[in-house]
């Protein structure tokens, strides 16, 4: 949850509390056995005036509910209540800037590995400024020797804390070898995703996405970018299909999309330059469309932007 200091007010198990009091107990299965799921939601300062809006909050909470079901919780937080709580948290903190909100659901108490409750819920927010240099200059990736977890082992479409060990191992390897981040393949050798982001590529005038069956999180940012690409016609076609490793080297553009990465160009993979080794025109067009939408400068589909009432100056 990279960014600035956490805002001063947090929320846990039904109460707004000082942020430094939002903690997870050591013996809870949510900590001891990583029995927890989460959502990371972005809020963006709106162009052309004051105000902040959460992006695709309802769909984040729908995905959280599905994750909780797979986790096997007896009590699942109500999405409508979580939405009201998140809006209230933002308003109480007087947020006026780009922000990341973490909503964590975990097995509380001190039960065994298979405990189904009690359910704990916690929420914190912190500033998350736009990383302009990364969006312009891109990142360099390594195809990892670690393979992506599979649906029959630890389902990647569940946003579970335990799943992120896979990406951590790949990311550590990539950093040690001089890259910014990693790209993971499935056990069958097909392109899956990066740690915390989905992969898209441009080949022969088409925008290509590995399918949701390729060991990926069903990313809302991915869904947004693919919808916008189809609507804008930035490439001749937008298709979802299996992607081979060497297609990454043959692509004219590669980009990473996700809540944290937003829409980030990949300029090199395994010491090969991607295209001309700089951000390409399709990526730039998709960045423009994405940020125009999340900042309210372009019309967004119903429900994509949840506006936050401004009550006071923010505090961290």
- From the candidates 56, 60, 148, 159, which is the catalytic residue? 159
- Residue 300 pairs in a beta bridge with none
> By residue range, what is the domain housing residue 38?
9-129
Residues 161 and 261 in one domain: yes
Q: What is the pLDDT of residue 50?
A: 85
- Clarify whether residues 193 and 257 are in a common domain: yes
* pLDDT score of 314: 46
Q: Are 122 and 47 found together in one domain?
A: yes
Tell whether 35 and 119 lie within a shared domain: yes
> Which of 202, 191, 197 is CA-nearest to residue 217?
197
pLDDT of residue 316: 57
147 and 267 co-located in one domain: yes
pTM to 2 decimals?
Answer: 0.95
Contacts of 46 (CB under 8 A, 6+ apart): 52, 53, 295, 296
Low-confidence ranges of the chain (pLDDT < 50): 1, 313-314
Q: Are residues 146 and 180 in the same domain?
A: yes
Residues 111 and 186 in one domain: no
**Residue 159: active-site member:** yes
| pLDDT at site 311 | 55
DSSP secondary structure letters along 120-140: EEEEEEEE----HHHHHH-EE
The CATH number assigned to the domain holding 183 equals: 3.20.10.10
Rounded-to-integer distance, Cα 128 and Cα 131, Å: 9
């Amino acid at each position: 949850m990279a960014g600035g200091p956490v805002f001063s007010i947090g929320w846990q198990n039904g109460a707004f509390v000082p942020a430094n009091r939002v903690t997870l107990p050591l013996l809870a299965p949510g900590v001891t056995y990583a029995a927890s799921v989460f959502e990371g939601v972005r809020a963006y300062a709106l162009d052309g005036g004051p105000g902040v809006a959460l992006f695709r909050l309802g769909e984040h909470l729908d995905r959280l509910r599905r994750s909780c079901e797979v986790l096997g919780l007896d009590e699942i937080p109500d999405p409508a209540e979580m939405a009201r709580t998140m809006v209230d948290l933002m308003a109480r903190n007087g947020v006026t800037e780009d922000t990341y909100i973490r909503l964590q659901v975990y097995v509380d108490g001190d039960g065994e590995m298979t405990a189904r409750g009690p359910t704990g819920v916690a929420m914190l927010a912190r500033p998350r400024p736009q990383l302009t240099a990364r969006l312009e200059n891109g990142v360099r990736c390594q195809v990892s020797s670690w393979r992506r977890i599979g649906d029959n082992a630890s389902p990647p479409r569940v946003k579970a804390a335990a799943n992120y060990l896979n990406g951590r191992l790949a990311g550590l390897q990539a950093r040690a070898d001089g890259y910014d981040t990693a790209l993971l393949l499935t056990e069958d050798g097909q392109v899956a995703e990066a740690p915390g982001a989905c992969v898209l590529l441009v080949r022969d005038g088409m925008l290509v996405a590995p399918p949701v069956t390729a060991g990926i999180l069903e990313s809302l940012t991915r869904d947004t970018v693919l919808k916008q690409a189809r609507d804008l016609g930035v490439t001749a076609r937008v298709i979802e299909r299996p992607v081979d490793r060497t297609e990454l080297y043959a692509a004219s553009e590669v980009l990473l999309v996700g809540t944290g990465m937003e829409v980030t160009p990949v300029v090199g993979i395994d010491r090969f330059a991607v295209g001309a080794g700089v951000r390409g025109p399709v990526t730039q067009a998709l960045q423009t469309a994405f940020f125009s939408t999340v900042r309210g400068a372009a019309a967004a589909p119903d429900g994509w932007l949840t506006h936050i009432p401004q009550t006071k100056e923010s505090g961290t």
